[in-house]
Amino acid sequence: MSPPGQPRQEKRLRLQRMLADIGFEIDDAMRRKLEDNRRLLQQAWDLQPVDRTPVTAWSQVNGAEDPLRRRHDLVENVKPQLLGILQDLRNGYDRLAGVVRNFNTTLLASAFGCHIRIMENGQDWAEPVIQDIDQVASLKVPDLSHDGLLPEYLEDIAILRDVLPPEVTVGNRILLGPIDHIYWLRGANPLFIDMFDHPDAVHRMFSVVTEAHIQLLHASHEAARWSFTPDEVHFDTMVHAECKGLVMFSDDGSVNLSPELFAEFVAPYNRRLLEEFGGGLIHTCGACEHLLEEYAKLPATGVELNLRLVNYDKAREILEGKVIVTYGGLIPADSYEKSLRRTIEEARRGGLILTGIPPEVLQDLRERERKIAFEGWSPS
């Protein structure tokens, strides 16, 4: 295991040996597949008709069993992701090639001073650091070169960019949006009470956290030598993977709020992030139908939804002009066959991207597409 603070050159050498050991190489066939995937995803994100349903994936293969090793050993952190790229492309997914330096969801929380615990299942947990609302007055943006895991994170991004093939994007793993970061710093229940009892302090928390997110994301882009424009589809972060607009973040915590509380406390800071980076993708995996009108007002390029919890037709109507990325499934219908056909017909018009479906469903979907093509249907 390579501990934090391992010399930079040693990390580089270990990465190079690992790439050779697993035979990771972007050959001509893979390069053509990636370019075809990029073309397809760009059309879908541009809300243009596409010739097949865009289905992305993000897999990890044969990761180390020890969660601390997976977290702190750079080689063990990215090796499963690189193997996942090869597996996903072989399985026919429309993904792009990219990896992240994965500290899971507590990267920024560590920089604010939260104690991070690794659970038995490998997930991380941040102990709230704001125990009293009066502490908010002294809350400040962390030092990117010193605080928490940030120095290791930024150094490792730069190393990855130096070592990996140019076709492999080094993405970001900040992931959480403002409210989800604050859940770690303050705790959910205290935050809800603070919204009524101490609204000014809540706005200060959101303001500081959002500024920290912005500074860290700019530093991440610089370390990874990004040259993407907001209009280009690119690999961004794990799980959700591709994006148009240079930020992607989760907004899971907002499902607990009314539209009024969301508009007052969350929307201004989500907007700040999106405007800073020319749009992007908001992920929410909860029952967020009551917030769709609020999401429609934000300058997001797309919204990722769980269609088992959100009605697709309602979302499509309200989020007109935005891409919908599904989270783990097809558009629900009263049979599997109808679900396949409805999803294909909607996706091929542009603006709908599937993610997180298993290979056997992807195979069924492609077979259904061939039948539809034989029937002479084409996107209008």
pLDDT at position 241: 66
- Residue 238 pLDDT grade (very low, low, confident, very high; cuts 50, 70, 90): low
Strands 115-118 and 124-127: antiparallel
pLDDT at position 240: 65
Instruction: Kindly tell me if the per-residue pLDDT of 312 is higher than 60.
Output: yes
In a 3-state reduction of DSSP, which class is residue 86? Answer: helix
Nearest of 286, 290, 326 to residue 309 by alpha carbon: 286
Q: What is the mean pLDDT of residues 68-88?
A: 92
The answer to whether the beta carbons of residues 156 and 101 sit under 8 Å apart is: yes
pLDDT at position 145: 95
Q: List, for residues 267-292, the tens digit of each pLDDT value.
A: 999 999 999 999 999 999 899 999 99
Instruction: Give the separation between CA 84 and CA 62, rounded to whole angstroms.
Output: 9
CA distances (Å), 35 to each of 38, 42, 246, in order? 5, 10, 20
Instruction: Kindly tell me if the per-residue pLDDT of 239 is higher than 70.
Output: no
Of 12-16, 53-57, 120-124, 228-232, the one with minimum mean pLDDT is 120-124
Name beta bridge partners: 126. 116
The verdict on pTM exceeding 0.85 is yes
Pull the structure tokens for residue 220. Answer: 């991440």
pLDDT at position 311: 96
Q: List, for residues 31-47, the tens digit of each pLDDT value.
A: 999 999 999 999 999 99
pLDDT at position 225: 97
Domains along the chain with CATH numbers = 8-375 (3.20.20.210)
Roughly what angle, to the nearest 10 degrees, separates helices 267-276 and 199-223?
20
pLDDT at position 380: 57
Instruction: Kindly tell me if the per-residue pLDDT of 173 is higher than 90.
Output: no
- Residue 64 pLDDT grade (very low, low, confident, very high; cuts 50, 70, 90): confident
pLDDT at position 1: 41
Pull the structure tokens for residue 380. Answer: 């209008």
pLDDT at position 32: 97
Pull the structure tokens for residue 195. Answer: 């919204």
Higher pLDDT, 72 or 378: 72
Instruction: Kindly tell me if the per-residue pLDDT of 216 is higher than 70.
Output: yes
Higher pLDDT, 59 or 291: 291
CA 29 to chain centre: 27
Q: What is the mean pLDDT of residues 324-330?
A: 91
Higher pLDDT, 58 or 298: 298
Q: What is the mean pLDDT of residues 231-243?
A: 84
Instruction: Kindly tell me if the per-residue pLDDT of 215 is higher than 50.
Output: yes
Tally of CB atoms within 10 A around 247: 28
pLDDT at position 230: 97
pLDDT at position 339: 97
Instruction: Kindly tell me if the per-residue pLDDT of 335 is higher than 90.
Output: yes
Q: What is the mean pLDDT of residues 333-354?
A: 96
Tally of CB atoms within 10 A around 283: 23
Pull the structure tokens for residue 214. Answer: 């912005």
pLDDT at position 2: 46
Q: What is the mean pLDDT of residues 143-171?
A: 97
Pull the structure tokens for residue 3. Answer: 């501990």
